[in-house]
Amino acid sequence: MAVSKMVGARVKRVEDPRLITGAGTYVDDIRMVDMLYGAVVRSPIAHGRIRRIDTKAARERPGVVAVYTAKDLQFAAPLPNAWNLTGIRVTRHDPLATERVRMVGDGVAFVVAESRYGARDAADVVDVDYTELRPVSDPERALRKGAPNVWDNAPGNEAYRTEVGDRAAVDAAFASAFKTVSLRVVNQRLIPTPIETRGVVARWDRGLEQLTVWSSSQIPHLLKTNIAGVLGLPEQKVRVIVPEVGGGFGCKLNIYAEEILAARAAMLLNRPVKWIEERRESFASTIHGRGHVHYVEMALSREGKILGLRNRFIADLGAYAQVNTEAIPTLANLVLSGVYDMGAIHSELIAVYTNLPPTDAYRGAGRPEGVHAVERIIHAAAHALDMDPTEIRRRNLIAKDRFPFTAKTGVTYDSGNYEANLDLALTVSKYAELRAEQARVNAGGTHLMGIGVAIYIELSGFNPSGAGGGIGWESGTVRFEPTGKVTIYTGVSPHGQGQETTFAQIAADELGVPFEDITVLHGDTQMVQYGMGTYGSRGTAVGGAALVKAIDRVKDKAKRIAALLLEASPEDIVYDQGGLYVGGVPGRAVTVQEVAGTAYLHVDKLKNEIDPGLEATATFDPTNFTWPYGTYIAVVIIDRETGEVKLRDLFATDDVGRVISPLLVAGQVHGGIAQGVGQALFEGARFDENGQPLTGSLMDYAVPIASELPAYVLAATETPTPVNPLGAKGVGEAGTIGTTPAVANAVVDALQQFGIDEVEMPITSERIWQALRNATQTKKGGRR
């Protein structure tokens, strides 16, 4: 490899100037002659039968071109669900509800009009007559006898049940334990809330019989394949273009009804159709995240060794199976060993249908829920054993010489040096000083200080065929242009992750061309070779690895061309920082720019021995997931009288493998932390018993803003992964996964002296106040 200059350097994002100055093009910026606008008529009730839909008044409004209900539209297939888990009760998801609505926000009609305002006005006067059915809006209540059935073919609302580990071994561990602890931990529903909501523009080219769909998506190619499938079009006649995307966090890793509806309407009307999601629609009909209730227990030896972990959890799937709805909860099972060498593990997952929006991938997707359960219960264990929470963790860490390590959950960790990471975190946070300060603050009487520790692990680099049969391979193409400039085409679909920068850094070093001479393209299926998109912290770990393979191939070809030009043997050519020379004779050299020019424009020099052109494509399918980890330490200050909680400090020490772009890694960690704090202290989708949203807009759903967050302190250890040539593990979800349990543990750490061992998230001032009040009353009333 060439001398590293760009990789590891603090390079600013090349994406930023256009995004910051408003020069980026998002879906809603696309305007076309003759364009129509769509609006979805949505169910105002959570459960009911559709008796009648009267579209007459809507159709008669000025500017309305069409009003479609399910009866008016034909599809080759329902909306896709990528997973068919064993024993699952399969449900059907149509682009518009046919006979029954199953959640508030379910689409029942699609209005198309000459203007966006006209479409919205017409949607308001579509008259739908429902017979209301009793809904169920809580996953645990959904499992109770007598609960209404969301799906007739899933009586009792159970979608599936699955388990990992060894139940008998765990029972034995608990039987022999010195101490056991148990908690009920709720991982509440979250609303992804990207700044840019979803949006679609669809255009049918009658002459070419080609459909082009612009969508705010994380998965252009998979979207293309699935649009073709649902609409019954030949796939080569479908093109998907993903322009700038204003945040995804997993919620745009999906195939949504509106992408299909806009496309079908464009085909039927032979005019472009745009649909832009309103914020309230986004809250009601884009997927939600999380939605788990964990009953977690831990068995411990006198010395604090983890003998066994027992977990049973209920996952709220919501009303429909979107693309990954069913699979996401199963990921929680795969992280239950955390960074610890546990004696035995058993976990059972019960997935449940409810009359709420579908859950699916949201930053972390299954892993935050599992890690949270483990990190909360180990905190409880430390308290029960009167041990420092860092000490109990240290005693159970998997030692650095035991990798690859196969956990009791059945998964194999790639690499790690957990103790070094913990040590660095303790140093950076001045942990001992924090504990001393805590004693002083808590003696003062007015405030309570809490220190929370969490060591997270995640499986990243989604989604290798070699570990679980995934389809998460990736592609990359490197093309030298005749002038020696470089275009990179990647199958990943960055939407904030910054691979236009990261990949240019990698290519600049590997190819020895100036960083400015490289452009990274993505997101247009007609331009870029097939790829899997961006999700699951895979962009660099998998897409970057494919790029490195393609770079190696293009360099090989450059050497062969140079060999011809220099009249040497290809094996003797050295490729060094953009120059190719004959080994030992640096004077006999050409630049890679000269080689590129030759490859395209002076092909006579190739003597028909080498094909013209200088580009290469490669794909990469990793053998395993990567397993990033890190130690997070949070400090909270609680107002004893009001319960108000302030996150004062957040120390994040991550190990995400080899770091390509430190500034972007820090950015990802920062954003992740904000969302992790969001879950711990701010966010939570709430519904009443009728399935009506109580947090239907940003006036009621709280996301943290900058002024409510502390300045984070970041540190890093770097343990490369052996599963890809870059050594990078992925960082997209790290901050989210580590932060939530660290903050929750900090709150409990502050309150534990009152016998409080759990406060449900989001941890609001009122919940803390109630917990303190209940604890005081219990104390007064004696032990109950």
Summarize as ranges the residues that interact with other proteins (CB under 8 A).
116-117, 120-121, 124, 278-280, 641-642, 644, 682, 686, 694-695, 697-704, 708, 764-766, 769-770
Our CB check for other proteins shows the closer of 57 and 663 to be: 57
Our CB check for other proteins shows the closer of 283 and 535 to be: 283
Q: Per the structure block, which two tokens stand in for 367?
A: 């892993």
Residue 780: count other Cβ atoms within 10 Å of its Cβ.
Answer: 7
Single-letter amino acid, residue 319: A
- Kindly state the smallest distance separating residue 201's Cβ from other proteins, in Å: 18
Q: Is 126 helix (H, G, I), strand (E, B) or coil?
A: coil
Our CB check for other proteins shows the closer of 121 and 517 to be: 121
- Kindly state the smallest distance separating residue 642's Cβ from other proteins, in Å: 6
Task: Give DSSP secondary structure letters for 560-629.
Answer: HHHHHHHTS-GGGEEEETTEEEETTEEEEEEEHHHHHHHHHH-GGGGTTTS-S--EEEEEE--SS-B--E
Question: What's the rounded Cα separation, in Å, for the pair 680 and 684?
Answer: 9
Of 281, 289, 100, the C-alpha closest to 200 is 281
Our CB check for other proteins shows the closer of 416 and 678 to be: 678
Question: Helix count (H) and strand count (E) of the chain?
Answer: 19, 28
591 Rama class: left (phi>0) / alpha (psi -120 to 50) / beta: beta
- Kindly state the smallest distance separating residue 123's Cβ from other proteins, in Å: 10
Angle of the 545-566 helix axis to the 499-511 helix axis, nearest 10: 30
Question: What's the rounded Cα separation, in Å, for the pair 601 and 496?
Answer: 37
- Kindly state the smallest distance separating residue 452's Cβ from other proteins, in Å: 20
Our CB check for other proteins shows the closer of 125 and 170 to be: 125
- Kindly state the smallest distance separating residue 352's Cβ from other proteins, in Å: 23
Our CB check for other proteins shows the closer of 676 and 704 to be: 704
Our CB check for other proteins shows the closer of 484 and 676 to be: 676
- Kindly state the smallest distance separating residue 750's Cβ from other proteins, in Å: 19
Our CB check for other proteins shows the closer of 443 and 699 to be: 699
- Kindly state the smallest distance separating residue 189's Cβ from other proteins, in Å: 13
- Kindly state the smallest distance separating residue 282's Cβ from other proteins, in Å: 10
Q: Per the structure block, which two tokens stand in for 171?
A: 């029972």
Of 563, 567, 594, 564, the C-alpha closest to 578 is 594
CB 371 within 8 A of CB 360: no
User: What b/e sequence results for 417-434 when a residue is b if at least 16 CB atoms lie within 10 Å of its CB, and e otherwise?
Assistant: bbeebbbbbbebbebeeb
Q: Is 295 helix (H, G, I), strand (E, B) or coil?
A: strand
Helix (H) or strand (E) segment spanning residue 545? helix 545-566
- Kindly state the smallest distance separating residue 766's Cβ from other proteins, in Å: 5
Our CB check for other proteins shows the closer of 578 and 684 to be: 684
Task: Give DSSP secondary structure letters for 296-309.
Answer: EEEEE-TT--EEEE
Our CB check for other proteins shows the closer of 25 and 770 to be: 770
- Kindly state the smallest distance separating residue 702's Cβ from other proteins, in Å: 4
Question: What's the rounded Cα separation, in Å, for the pair 139 and 691?
Answer: 12
Question: What's the rounded Cα separation, in Å, for the pair 659 and 729?
Answer: 9
Our CB check for other proteins shows the closer of 487 and 765 to be: 765
- Cα-only R_g, the chain: 28
Q: Where are the alpha helices (DSSP H) in 287-417?
A: 328-333, 367-384, 389-396
- Kindly state the smallest distance separating residue 276's Cβ from other proteins, in Å: 10
Our CB check for other proteins shows the closer of 116 and 553 to be: 116
- Kindly state the smallest distance separating residue 281's Cβ from other proteins, in Å: 9
Of 163, 218, 472, 170, the C-alpha closest to 329 is 163
DSSP for residue 156? G
Our CB check for other proteins shows the closer of 190 and 656 to be: 190
Tokens 């790029």 belong to residue: 547
Residue length of the chain? 784
Q: Per the structure block, which two tokens stand in for 611?
A: 């094909």
- Kindly state the smallest distance separating residue 475's Cβ from other proteins, in Å: 39
- Kindly state the smallest distance separating residue 695's Cβ from other proteins, in Å: 7
- Kindly state the smallest distance separating residue 709's Cβ from other proteins, in Å: 12
Our CB check for other proteins shows the closer of 191 and 573 to be: 191
CB 752 within 8 A of CB 764: no
Distance from CA of residue 104 to its chain's centroid? 25
Q: How many CA atoms, within 13 angstroms, populate the side-chain half-sphere of residue 236? A: 1
Tokens 């829920």 belong to residue: 369
Question: What's the rounded Cα separation, in Å, for the pair 247 and 226?
Answer: 22
Our CB check for other proteins shows the closer of 591 and 695 to be: 695
Q: Per the structure block, which two tokens stand in for 753?
A: 């002296």
Residue 359: count other Cβ atoms within 10 Å of its Cβ.
Answer: 30
- Kindly state the smallest distance separating residue 50's Cβ from other proteins, in Å: 23
Q: Is 176 helix (H, G, I), strand (E, B) or coil?
A: coil
Tokens 């239907």 belong to residue: 696
- Kindly state the smallest distance separating residue 121's Cβ from other proteins, in Å: 7
Of 98, 96, 90, the C-alpha closest to 111 is 96
Our CB check for other proteins shows the closer of 36 and 181 to be: 36
Question: What's the rounded Cα separation, in Å, for the pair 315 and 400?
Answer: 34
Our CB check for other proteins shows the closer of 384 and 703 to be: 703
Our CB check for other proteins shows the closer of 157 and 285 to be: 285
- Kindly state the smallest distance separating residue 740's Cβ from other proteins, in Å: 16
CB 345 within 8 A of CB 408: yes
How far CA 583 is from CA of 2, 559, 587, 727, in Å, comes to: 15, 12, 10, 29
Q: Per the structure block, which two tokens stand in for 434?
A: 């924090």
